[in-house]
Structure 1
Amino acid sequence: MIIDKFLFKKIEVLKKRFYELSFLIIKPEIIHDKKKSVKLSKEYKIIYKIINYYNSYKENKKYLKEIESLIKLDSDKELLEFAIFEKKKNLLELEFLLNKIESLLKKNNNTKNNNTKNNNTKNNNTKNVLMELRAGTGGDEACIFVENIFRMYTMYFKELCWKYEILNMQQGTIKGYKEIIIEIQGKNVYGTLKFESGVHRVQRVPSTESQGRLHTSAITVAILPEEDYNNNLLINIVLSDLKRETFRASGAGGQHVNKTESAIRLTHIPTGIIAECQEERSQHKNYEKAMKVLRARIYQSELKIKNEKLSKERKSLISTGDRSAKIRTYNYPQGRVTDHRINKSIYYLDKFMNGKINEMITALKILEKENN
């Protein structure tokens, strides 16, 4: 289950911190610093409780599997009734333990020293990301441009030896794609791609245009940093806050398509944020991928709120995340690509569309350094 994977990752981080604190709190310089000693001791006690509750949670999960196996195999009526009763009791215990863990995780986050306030951007720069490409105005031409931009980015990823995985694709009516969501892993991915968020506009004569008229279409790009298991923006998704829907996949996929309801749509009720996936034949795998997208979108939403507070102190000239802002124009007749935020034009559009985008990204990075 996703919740188990999330807890495992978080507990592994906390275990390392627990061992670190075990040595810190007995150091003479810490003992003599009363303020620091109290603070570290408090954190130590909270993490100790979290680890103990998590160990109990794992034991209960193991017992639940044994009970479920017994229910499937045993035909004895009395034993079956006992097993069903034990299962209900076990599920209540698991719910209690999860609530305790979530409560303590929040408490632990609140006790952390918030000295990383000015380092949020730097920390985010090292993260992997989810990239969302969506067709905007322009109908079929916008869908085709989504495919073009997807190819451009993947060729750039190969140059940097980054790995990527397609999480979801929705085909256009005729050609191209309405939406593509990919997960990208590598070195300093977010720090490199964060300025790509926004509206990418294309000006060209579509192949379907008989009179040779120039058309303007647009797509949106969103770069979502992966959730950070070490900071105080950790997203706790309660399963009762999720609305889960299944539907039949569409697009390529042979006999599987439209015959099984393997596609998943998840709605986070408190925020209204939606994520869906139909790439896999397995409903379970689609659920995992949809959950990954959902967590990233919720995290991005929380991060945006936090960054808006920080921007009152330090205003950046470059947008990093507003998908409504027009950031770049790809003009095919002129062979030109222009970034409107820095008024920079490059006149080798063909090479740019083949993944040679580093000059533009470098220019944006330089301006960010100058502003900071």
Structure 2
Amino acid sequence: MFDLPEKRRLSEELEAKLTEPGIWDDSQAAGGIAREARELRDEVTVWDQLQRRAEDLEELAQLAGQDEELAEQVKVDSLAVDLELQKLELEVLFADPYSSHHAVLSISAGQGGVDAQDWVEILMRMYMKWAQPPAQERSTLRPGCEVEVIDTAAGDEAGLKGATLVLRGRRAYGLLRAEHGVHRLVRISPFDQNHRRHTSFALVEVMPELAEGEEAQVEISPEDLRVDTYRSTGAGGQHVNKTDSAVRLTHLPTGIVVSCQNERSQLKNRELAMKVLRARIFQRQQEEAAKKRDELRGDVMPAEFGSQIRNYVLQPYTMVKDVRTGVEVGNAQAVLDGQLEPFLEGWLRWRLAEA
């Protein structure tokens, strides 16, 4: 929960620590403290300035009396303060300590056969479109992210059995963790010759990508790791397809399997796969330690009917509705084109209310 006095106290404490003798002997650690202190100081300053503006307006309103011109000015300024407050309230919703991290996003097909595999590919496109909006459409809820496709598994007839992406941008995990869960699609199947309506499911999992200094939190013993190499089946030129550049890591104690075939270099693929593996193990550790619902990604749910967090209906009408928050959008195509902001904000506010 947001606590301004506590943030002010912590900011002052960090500022004082930076003046201690020898603190800058470890420039990397001191730089991290300085960065945290600066962020806290800037946040406290913004709230303090807004509070002063509100107090000044309250005094001005008392002085306005019958002065219509002054009263109108107070009204205009009050609206401006309200808008600023709404923006700051949105900032407060990112309370999770990992909100500022990049995100590892995995999509896998559930019930629905070839339609479910096609649904995986549609969802992958949706998240990539969300991550890469035009400059004029960027906002707190759609800041723009760099997307790296780590691995894809081709479907039997169409689409994808699964895909893993890393989205790097401001608060990528803090935003996309709202997407964890089962996504349900209802439409006339393009793979059904009788043009019947089909329902298909896909599971979306979202994890924070650990920063370099945080990776030590997840210890992976070499004897607990099985490494398999194979030829990439994706695009990438002759080198990728003629050498064993793809890497599959299996963490034996947990059974977690991660693959990467995106890079030409086997070494690079292994590094990327290790990042994803650490994220998955870290997530599991956090869930087991916390033992409470949706600590990082939410409850583990089967990708089948009754467990979905969001419904996407394309036939006989169009509608996308979040089961948890009740947020509903009629323009389903806009949502599939990456316009997820109503659902992201709705989930953040719902999560804060549930806390």
Decide: shared fold, TM above 0.5: yes
2:322 to 336, 339, 347: 339
Residues 21, 360 of structure 1: alpha-carbon distance in 2 compared, 3 angstrom cutoff: closer
Partner Cα separation in structure 2 for residue 173 and residue 264 of structure 1: 22
The aligned counterpart of 1:362 is 345
Partner Cα separation in structure 2 for residue 363 and residue 183 of structure 1: 23
Partner Cα separation in structure 2 for residue 173 and residue 215 of structure 1: 18
By how many angstroms is 1:346 displaced?
Answer: 1.6
Amino acid at match of 1:145: W
TM-score by length of 1: 0.63
The aligned counterpart of 1:213 is 196
The aligned counterpart of 1:264 is 247
- 1:124 partner SS: coil
2:308 to 312, 318, 326: 326
- 1:122 partner SS: coil
Residues 225, 279 of structure 1: alpha-carbon distance in 2 compared, 3 angstrom cutoff: same
By how many angstroms is 1:122 displaced?
Answer: 2.2
By how many angstroms is 1:131 displaced?
Answer: 0.3
Q: Does 1:203 align with 2:186?
A: yes
The aligned counterpart of 1:61 is none
Residues 298, 355 of structure 1: alpha-carbon distance in 2 compared, 3 angstrom cutoff: same
**Residues 266-323 of structure 1: CA deviation (Å, up to 9, x unaligned):** 1112222211112223211221111111111111111111231xx3xxx679973534
2:207/2:297 contact within 8 Å kept = no
Map of 1:184-195 to 2, 5 A cutoff? 184-195=167-178
The aligned counterpart of 1:181 is 164
- 2:158 partner SS: coil
1:138 to 109, 112, 127: 112
Q: Does 1:162 align with 2:145?
A: yes
2:287/2:295 contact within 8 Å kept = no
Residues 232, 211 of structure 1: alpha-carbon distance in 2 compared, 3 angstrom cutoff: closer
1:233/1:299 contact within 8 Å kept = no
1:264/1:276 contact within 8 Å kept = yes
The aligned counterpart of 1:242 is 225
Equivalent pairs counted in the alignment come to: 259
Residues 255, 359 of structure 1: alpha-carbon distance in 2 compared, 3 angstrom cutoff: same
The aligned counterpart of 2:121 is 147
2:177/2:296 contact within 8 Å kept = no
Q: Runs of 5+ in structure 1 lacking a partner?
A: 1-19, 28-43, 48-119
Residues 264, 229 of structure 1: alpha-carbon distance in 2 compared, 3 angstrom cutoff: closer
By how many angstroms is 1:25 displaced?
Answer: 8.3
Partner Cα separation in structure 2 for residue 180 and residue 303 of structure 1: 23
Over the aligned positions, Cα root-mean-square deviation in angstroms equals 3.1
Partner Cα separation in structure 2 for residue 232 and residue 277 of structure 1: 19
The aligned counterpart of 2:78 is none
Partner Cα separation in structure 1 for residue 165 and residue 262 of structure 2: 11
Amino acid at match of 2:300: D
2:215/2:278 contact within 8 Å kept = no
The aligned counterpart of 1:127 is 101
Partner Cα separation in structure 1 for residue 232 and residue 174 of structure 2: 34
By how many angstroms is 1:256 displaced?
Answer: 4.8
1:222/1:321 contact within 8 Å kept = no
By how many angstroms is 1:340 displaced?
Answer: 1.1
By how many angstroms is 1:201 displaced?
Answer: 0.8
Q: Does 1:349 align with 2:327?
A: no
**Residues 322-348 of structure 1: CA deviation (Å, up to 9, x unaligned):** 343421111101211111112332211
The aligned counterpart of 2:258 is 275
Partner Cα separation in structure 2 for residue 255 and residue 353 of structure 1: 34
The aligned counterpart of 1:92 is none
Partner Cα separation in structure 1 for residue 297 and residue 246 of structure 2: 34
By how many angstroms is 1:218 displaced?
Answer: 0.7
1:197/1:321 contact within 8 Å kept = no
By how many angstroms is 1:205 displaced?
Answer: 1.0
Q: Runs of 5+ in structure 2 lacking a partner?
A: 1-15, 30-93, 134-142
Residues 139, 171 of structure 1: alpha-carbon distance in 2 compared, 3 angstrom cutoff: same
Amino acid at match of 1:144: D
Partner Cα separation in structure 1 for residue 191 and residue 21 of structure 2: 71
**Residues 212-232 of structure 1: CA deviation (Å, up to 9, x unaligned):** 211011111000112256669
Partner Cα separation in structure 1 for residue 287 and residue 151 of structure 2: 24
By how many angstroms is 1:24 displaced?
Answer: 4.9
By how many angstroms is 1:129 displaced?
Answer: 1.1
By how many angstroms is 1:173 displaced?
Answer: 2.2
By how many angstroms is 1:233 displaced?
Answer: 8.1
**Residues 228-252 of structure 1: CA deviation (Å, up to 9, x unaligned):** 5666981122223211111222244
Map of 1:281-320 to 2, 5 A cutoff? 281-308=264-291, 311=292, 320=298
By how many angstroms is 1:211 displaced?
Answer: 1.4
2:206 to 223, 245, 248: 223
Partner Cα separation in structure 1 for residue 295 and residue 318 of structure 2: 27
